[in-house]
């Protein structure tokens, strides 16, 4: 009999990012690596929200997949079964939520006072070895951890939405975050096939958003100038740098574009054009008056986006990139959900399954 | 007997972009739509360069594909057969090159005097109905056409490199380019499964490069600031906005990210973070002193990039995006080369095959 103690992951905050992480974690569960996911969120409609949202983030249930011809599978049983097997638990208060956690992952309001208070309480009630992760998109760990006894325990783990689809996790330590915390965090994410990238310094907005928003700024400028419509800009990106950068990032691409001279050759060849584009680039501001036209064009072009289709195709893109490079990518989100993987876990031996790529610790 | 008159495409300039376009055009040839490709370039080693380069841009020859187990197929016969069947012709001078052209596509030196002189001569010697396309990355049609009798015939068709792989063509008319020229150009590219986007105004660098270089600028800034390494930046992009934007461009993505509120909701939610990133963004300059460190990191990270693998995986990405959206994308580059499709063309009836999506003219 092979019954394992589950990995206890606690999510503080169950908005769309929280439930996307819930789906990601649950999808990585296997009989040899069961997950017990605890959610704490004070919203009164939490249960209904989980049923309405989490269901559609989860990969297909292998049981329901046995009847692929059924056009109207009821989503509810998957969630019910997760609850029934203690793979998914709702905690009424924070101390209960974190008391046996191996990982505490926070995606509450983007409010410094809330974060400071939360981490103070989490540290008080969680096991001494638990990892503490904040999904914040803007409040650095150094600010959030200021009332902790040991601020070195906190690290930012910033996803690219939605995390149950997109592989990136920006790992942003504060200057005092313990290297061991970073190492365990990276090992955890690598172990489930995701793409953690450790930043070397805290900075406004971290890296992914800064890069994407720099391009967005120029895109808004070009629409404002009447060079291209919102749809034209998207069509340009989808037919050029999108697919290119899915395979090779900008430095690697321009390094290849420079032929034998590499990135230096690239700048020798067209550095003048690059500088010309930079000098002519726009500096639009949020609230600068471009909004109504850009919002209108976007609404008229797209209405309500079919996120399900987008995410399905994005997963296929990630798969073929992973296949092409001979690596597995996005493993967690691509696997079938093993409902009830944590079954019997409370009576099993206290053995923890080591993630295959973990090199630092038994727990992640 | 079904023998068609080939579509005559003349390339002025056979550098890497020229030969990439050559591969693209040749790969779209079919028995019912034969292509006769004429190349004019004064470089003395032109023939050797074509053998060395074009071979590897072309899709597999169906004949050699019949022996897939042969580990060392000789590339030379494909090119030889293209020459033998008059599907590929080298022209000794410009008047000869363009005298029967349906399309003249220029990718010569990025030098205004050269372009002005070239188009003056092309107009003099080409048929009155021929389309004139410049692949320039920076010199607008309005400047290039200034010595033409009819400047309205010229339009910029700017690729995203390499064009035999990447679907984007930026169609950039001058203020005087005839709408019919734009319409025929768009119809041609749509007819071979590519993604033409017509810009509404000439501007420095056009749209794709301006967008990509805006992101590159911030990427360089973040490396210079020590926030992330060159490899980290590429890893971030490859795991986030690359695959996302391959499927849905930035406006569509952020519109989806704003939930029911769309792009407006997105800016209501995190407009402050966006503005913070913009204000903190870098303004590096070409020649600004960041080069040695960035070039060094890039060289050490990548050495010589395997462009063949990159392009192979990029094609798979484009395929799955096209499949996911229920459209064919990158048709030309994905098809097997039909060597000798133009055979017998000089003796056939003077009937032109209409491209399936062409709505404007018999010729493209």
pLDDT digit string, tens, across residues A250-301: 999 999 999 889 999 999 999 999 999 999 999 999 999 999 999 999 999 9
Residue entry with tokens 């760990």: A141
What distance in Å separates the CA atoms of residue B15 and residue B235, rounded to the nearest whole number? 31
pLDDT digit string, tens, across residues B294-327: 999 999 999 998 899 999 999 999 999 999 877 5
Indicate if the pLDDT at residue B341 is higher than 50.
Answer: no
Interface contact B246-A317, CB threshold 8 A:
yes
β-partners of residue A89 are A38
Would you place residue B77 in the very low, low, confident or very high pLDDT band (cuts 50, 70, 90)? Answer: confident
pLDDT digit string, tens, across residues A336-352: 444 433 333 333 333 33
Beta-carbon contacts of B188 under 8 Å, excluding residues fewer than 6 positions away, are B103, B131, B355, B358, B364
The partner residue sitting opposite A321, judged by closest CB among B234, B243, B301, is B243
Interface contact B255-A299, CB threshold 8 A:
yes
Closest CA–CA distance from residue B126 to any residue of chain A (Å): 31
Indicate if the pLDDT at residue A359 is higher than 80.
Answer: no
φ and ψ at residue B7, rounded to 5 degrees = -80, 125
What distance in Å separates the CA atoms of residue A208 and residue B90, rounded to the nearest whole number? 47
Indicate if the pLDDT at residue B348 is higher than 50.
Answer: no
pLDDT digit string, tens, across residues A202-227: 999 999 999 999 999 999 999 999 99
Please state the ipTM of this predicted complex: 0.89
- What stretches of chain B adopt beta strand conformation (E)? 7-12, 35-40, 88-90, 103-106, 131-134, 154-159, 168-173, 195-198
pLDDT digit string, tens, across residues A32-55: 999 999 999 999 999 999 999 999
Indicate if the pLDDT at residue A193 is higher than 80.
Answer: yes
Average pLDDT over residues B76-89: 91
Interface contact B219-A299, CB threshold 8 A:
no
What distance in Å separates the CA atoms of residue A125 and residue B181, rounded to the nearest whole number? 71
What distance in Å separates the CA atoms of residue A340 and residue A10, rounded to the nearest whole number? 18
Q: State whether CATH 1.10.3720.10 applies to domain B208-325.
A: no
pLDDT score recorded for residue B246: 98
Can you name the CATH fold of B7-206+330-355? Answer: Rossmann fold (3.40.50)
pLDDT score recorded for residue A61: 58
Would you place residue A4 in the very low, low, confident or very high pLDDT band (cuts 50, 70, 90)? Answer: confident
pLDDT score recorded for residue B60: 67
Q: Which two tokens stand for residue A157?
A: 């783990």
Q: Where are the domains of chain A?
A: 7-206+330-355, 208-325
Closest CA–CA distance from residue A352 to any residue of chain B (Å): 29
Interface contact A277-B205, CB threshold 8 A:
yes
A143: chain B residues, CB-CB within 8 Å: none
Beta-carbon contacts of B104 under 8 Å, excluding residues fewer than 6 positions away, are B10, B12, B98, B122, B126, B130, B131, B132, B133
Q: Measured between CB atoms, does A251 come within 8 Å of chain B?
A: yes
pLDDT digit string, tens, across residues B167-214: 999 999 999 999 999 999 999 999 999 999 999 999 999 999 999 999
pLDDT score recorded for residue A327: 59
DSSP-derived pairing of the beta strands A168-173 and A154-159: antiparallel
Q: Measured between CB atoms, does A216 come within 8 Å of chain B?
A: yes
Q: Which two tokens stand for residue A125?
A: 């009630």
Indicate if the pLDDT at residue B8 is higher than 70.
Answer: yes
Tell which B residues from 94 to 153 touch A, by Cβ distance under 8 Å.
137-138
Q: Measured between CB atoms, does B200 come within 8 Å of chain A?
A: yes
Average pLDDT over residues A10-20: 96
Secondary element (H or E) of residue A105: strand A103-106
Angle among Cα A202, A207, A208 to the nearest 5 degrees reads 145
């Amino acid at each position: 009999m092979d019954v394992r103690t589950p990995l206890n992951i606690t999510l503080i905050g169950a908005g769309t990012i929280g439930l996307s992480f819930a789906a990601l974690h649950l999808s990585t569960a296997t009989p040899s690596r069961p997950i017990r996911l605890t959610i704490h969120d004070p919203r009164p409609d939490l249960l209904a929200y989980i049923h309405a949202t989490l269901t559609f983030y989860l990969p297909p249930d292998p049981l329901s997949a046995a009847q692929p011809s059924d056009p109207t599978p009821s989503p509810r049983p998957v969630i019910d079964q997760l609850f029934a097997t203690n793979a998914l638990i709702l905690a009424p208060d924070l101390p209960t939520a974190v008391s046996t956690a191996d990982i505490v992952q926070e995606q509450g309001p983007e409010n410094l006072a809330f974060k400071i208070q939360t981490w103070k309480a989490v540290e008080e009630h969680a096991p001494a070895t638990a990892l503490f992760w904040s999904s914040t998109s803007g409040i650095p760990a150094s600010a959030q951890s200021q009332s902790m006894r040991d601020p070195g325990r906190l690290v930012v783990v910033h996803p690219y939405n939605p995390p149950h689809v997109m592989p990136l996790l920006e790992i942003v330590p504060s200057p005092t975050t313990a290297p061991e915390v970073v190492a365990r965090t990276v090992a955890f994410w690598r172990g489930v096939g995701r793409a953690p990238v450790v930043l070397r310094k805290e900075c406004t907005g971290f890296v992914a958003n800064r890069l994407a928003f720099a391009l967005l700024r120029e895109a808004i400028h070009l629409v404002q100038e009447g060079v291209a419509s919102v749809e034209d800009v998207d069509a340009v990106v989808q037919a050029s740098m999108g697919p290119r950068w899915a395979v090779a990032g900008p430095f690697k691409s321009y390094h290849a574009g420079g032929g034998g001279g590499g990135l230096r050759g690239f700048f020798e060849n067209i550095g003048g054009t690059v500088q010309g584009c930079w000098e002519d680039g726009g500096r639009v501001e949020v609230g600068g008056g471009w909004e109504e036209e850009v919002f209108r064009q976007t609404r008229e072009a797209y209405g309500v986006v079919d996120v399900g289709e987008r995410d399905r195709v994005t997963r296929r893109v990630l798969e073929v990139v992973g296949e092409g490079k001979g690596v597995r990518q996005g493993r967690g989100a691509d696997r079938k959900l093993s409902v009830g993987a944590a079954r019997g876990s409370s009576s099993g031996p206290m053995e923890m399954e080591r993630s295959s790529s973990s090199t630092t610790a038994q727990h992640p």
